[in-house]
Amino acid sequence: MKLRSPFKILDGYIIRKFLGTYIFAIILILAITVMFDINEKLDAFLKAPLKATIFDYFVNFLPYFANQFSPLFTFIAVIFFTSKLADNSEIIAMMSSGMSFRRLLRPYLVSATVIAAGTYVLSAYVIPPANVKRLDFQNTYVKNKRVDYGTNIQLQVGKGEIAYMSRYDNIARTGYKFSLESFKDKKLVSRLTAQTIRYDSLHRWQVRDYMIRDFKGTREIIRRGTKLDTIIPIEPRDFLIGQKDHETMTSPDLAGYISRQKERGMGNIKNFEIEYERRYAMTAAAFILTIIGMSLSSRKVKGGMGINIAIGLVLSFGYIVFMTVTSSFAVSGYTSPRIAMWIPNVIYLIIAVLLYRKASRG
């Protein structure tokens, strides 16, 4: 019969404690959040059907909120259960059995890996489709923040092709005074104009009361018609950009959208770039905050667990505020979204290294 190593038993013990405390912290804070949210949106919930409130809003809101504040929950979990281990002299017993501080960190990093992987999968693939339902509920019953109209819309739809609409109505799915100009070697070779253009489905548009002018040297060929089905590689969401649209796209969709919008010369995509980089930065934060929390709370301190929890709350909330502040730098154009999202991680990584070295020296 093969006996398990005592260190592996301790690994399993720490991992269970870490993940159990993390889940407990999420449930506790979500319960409080739901109470405040119901109080704030009570009028909307009374108007909405109960089924929509539960399944369209809360079922999608709770994972969204939990994932947004995953670094906070991770930090609180580490601080809370590690301080408890230290107060009960369990960490001293582990170290006395021959476990080094570096070896003690291993189960923490395994737990952080589980949390980081879950955080990324949720933020990149699971939560964005859920946000579509959540935001539709809010727009319908709380406050409508949909962008259904646009004016003076101009964008590049392909190489050498510029589209323009004086106005677009997304409710009627119709644009007015449309034009599509094609250039070759910086010379206008064709121009399509139409009184209206209607969006049908993916990239399919129907122009009405149209005129096509083809320029061939000194000649001009004109064609007219009442209705023409055409494929134009744009969708309404390419130019009707809502405040929360970046939260409804998976990471692959975000990457493709950002690339297309840059090619089209659209400048209002900072929120999309920030969201894309934020998902990776938040994933890395699980490791950084775990190291900080473990290094801070692995030793007994005067004042007990309360001091460690207070320090942990200050640092974790500071991280979230710091990330919010640096994201405003990207919006203002002072720095790129990638640098803005990783500044907090770099600074907190330095803090983590310093605290780890101090704690490992005992």
Tens of pLDDT, residue by residue over 250-308, are 999 999 999 888 887 766 788 899 999 999 999 999 999 999 989 888 877 665 666 77
Q: What are phi and psi of 182, to 5 degrees?
A: -115, 130
E strand spans, the chain: 149-158, 161-169, 174-184, 187-201, 204-216, 219-231
Taking a C-beta distance cutoff of 8 angstroms, is the pair 323, 279 a contact? no
Q: Quick one: pLDDT at residue 211?
A: 95
- Tokens 């096509």 sit on residue: 212
| 74, 108, 202, 286, 297 from 101: Cα distances, Å | 20, 11, 57, 19, 13
Residues 336-347 have pLDDT tens digits of 999 999 999 999
Residue whose C-alpha is closest to residue 297's, from 12, 7, 76: 76
Q: pTM value?
A: 0.84
* C-alpha dihedral, 185 to 190 to 196 to 199, nearest 10°: -60
144 φ/ψ angles, rounded to the nearest 5 degrees:
-80, 115
pLDDT at 103: 87
pLDDT tens for 88-112 read 888 888 888 778 888 889 999 999 9
Mind listing the pLDDT tens digit for each residue in 234-253?
889 888 888 889 999 999 99
Q: What does pLDDT average to over the chain?
A: 88
Selection from 324, 346, 290, 282 nearest residue 122 by Cα: 282
Q: How many residues does the chain have?
A: 362
Give the whole-angstrom CA distance, residue 306 versus residue 286: 22
Residue 280 dihedral angles phi and psi, to the nearest 5°: -75, -40
Residue 2's pLDDT band, with cuts at 50, 70 and 90, is very low
Interatomic CA distance for residues 141 and 309, integer angstroms: 39
Bridge-based pairing of strands 219-231 and 161-169 is unpaired
| Single-letter amino acid, residue 232 | I
CA distances to 138, 217, 246 from 271, in Å: 20, 44, 7
pLDDT of residue 5: 58
DSSP H helices in 264-336? 270-297, 305-332
> What secondary structure does DSSP assign to 97-133, as a single string?
TT--HHHHHHHHHHHHHHHHHHHHHIIIIIHHHHHHH
pLDDT of residue 193: 95
- % the chain with pLDDT above 70: 95
Report DSSP state, residue 139. Answer: I
Region at 219 (left for phi over 0; alpha for psi -120 to 50; beta for the rest): beta
Report whether 5 contacts 98 (CB < 8 A): no
Q: Please report where in the chains the tokens 């200050």 appear, as a residue.
A: 314
Select from 312, 287, 318 the least CA-distant residue to 116.
Answer: 287
Give mean pLDDT, residues 298-322.
75
Cα-based distances in Å from 354 to 5, 101, 130, 309, 314: 31, 14, 40, 19, 18
Structure tokens given for 56: 């369209």
**179-225 pLDDT, tens digit each:** 999 998 889 999 999 999 999 877 799 999 999 999 987 789 999 99
Nearest to 352 by CA among 122, 99, 74: 74
